[in-house]
């Protein structure tokens, strides 16, 4: 991949998907895309880029996104967020939410471990009362590959090891290839393809909680600032934003109030 080819691709990815492909990622990008070039019988990255740009079906760009994004995630990642959500945010929010309509968004959900964990907590928290509530979780990502995996809800037995054994028993059933999330929990999570770079968020109603963890680490400062402010607008007053442990929002970047590391609130 020549300098020019890398810069052309990086500029396209950044302006359309926010992800900042640093120079040190070049070998990784080249490696990941190599198979796509072979598959399409294309011999250079310039030709591949033209192919992506001229494809009106959206398939080529989706394949590119599937290769470029970093989707690493696991159950109970940054578990303190889930404890805060269960012990502080939920008990308090249920008192103020109107019409028993609790709206939670997992933005950049990858293969689904994060939104399913939220669904397990909600199920346990509400118990029998849950039938009276609409607590469905919106879970979005730009990678169609991870969304397919998430919707199937099948995980290796090894990946469940950090989940309480009660959850493993109640929320999973055995499948040929591992453990599958039970249908009643699957129905609680709505997976959709959505690009966080879209100028306007299309949601009719505001959220009470947004999780956007380990997504903005790939964005530059300005892109992150814009997104954080869109999250602010998309939240109800009193709503929470959870970001990744290695991420932070500086003062002056948005009107969010700092609650604790990587947890913010709209007053
Ligand atoms: C590292 S994973 C984080 C998964 C999970 N939130 C966690 O903390 O474990 C980051 C996810 O963000 C998604 N992503 C990156 N850019 C995005 C964008 N512009 N719009 C939506 N999702 C994006 C990637 O596809 C990837 O699945």
CA 128 to chain centre: 29
Q: Which atom of ligand 1 is nearest to the CA of 110?
A: 27
Cα(197) to centroid(ligand 1), Å: 12
**Closest ligand 1 atom, CA of 195?**
20
Angle at 204 between CA 203 and CA 206, to 5 degrees: 75
Q: 110 CA to middle of ligand 1, Å? A: 6
Q: What's residue 72's pLDDT?
A: 97
Residues with a catalytic annotation lie at 32, 141
Q: Walk along the chain (267 residues) and give the pLDDT tens digit of each residue.
A: 999 999 999 999 999 999 999 999 999 999 999 999 998 899 999 999 999 999 999 999 999 999 999 999 999 999 999 999 999 999 999 999 999 999 999 999 999 999 999 999 999 999 999 999 999 999 999 999 999 999 999 999 999 999 999 999 999 999 999 999 999 999 999 999 999 999 999 999 999 999 999 999 999 999 999 999 999 999 999 999 999 999 999 989 999 999 999 999 999
Q: In this predicted structure, what is the pLDDT of residue 170?
A: 97
Substitution candidate for ligand 1 out of 21, 69, 81, 246 with most atoms within 8 A of CB:
69
Check residue 27 and give its pLDDT.
93
What's the confidence (pLDDT) of residue 244? 98
Q: What is the pLDDT of residue 186?
A: 98
Residues with CB under 6 A from ligand 1: 17-19, 69-73, 77, 108-110, 114, 141-143, 146, 195-197, 213-215, 244
């Amino acid at each position: 991949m020549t300098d020019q080819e890398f810069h052309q691709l990086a500029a396209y990815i950044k302006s359309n998907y926010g992800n900042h492909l640093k120079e040190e990622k070049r070998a990784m990008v080249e490696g990941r895309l190599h198979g796509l070039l072979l598959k399409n019988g294309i011999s250079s990255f310039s030709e591949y880029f033209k192919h992506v740009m001229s494809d009106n079906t959206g398939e080529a760009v989706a394949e590119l996104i599937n290769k470029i994004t970093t989707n690493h995630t696991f159950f109970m990642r940054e578990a303190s967020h889930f404890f805060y959500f269960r012990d502080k945010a939920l008990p308090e929010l249920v008192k103020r939410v109107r019409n028993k309509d609790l709206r939670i968004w997992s933005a950049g959900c990858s293969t689904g471990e994060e939104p399913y964990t939220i669904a397990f907590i909600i199920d346990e928290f509400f118990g029998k009362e849950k039938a009276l509530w609409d607590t469905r979780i919106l879970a979005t990502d730009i990678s169609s590959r991870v969304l397919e995996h998430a919707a199937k809800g099948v995980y290796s037995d090894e990946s469940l090891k950090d989940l309480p054994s009660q959850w493993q028993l109640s929320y999973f059933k055995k499948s040929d290839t591992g453990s599958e999330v039970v249908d009643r929990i699957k129905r609680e999570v709505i997976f959709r393809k959505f690009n966080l770079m879209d100028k306007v968020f299309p949601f009719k109603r505001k959220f009470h909680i947004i999780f956007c963890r380990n997504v903005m680490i790939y964005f530059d400062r300005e892109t992150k600032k814009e997104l954080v402010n869109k999250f602010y607008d998309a939240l109800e007053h009193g709503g929470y934003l959870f970001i990744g442990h290695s991420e932070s929002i500086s003062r002056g970047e948005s009107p969010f109030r700092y609650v604790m590391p990587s947890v913010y609130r709209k007053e």
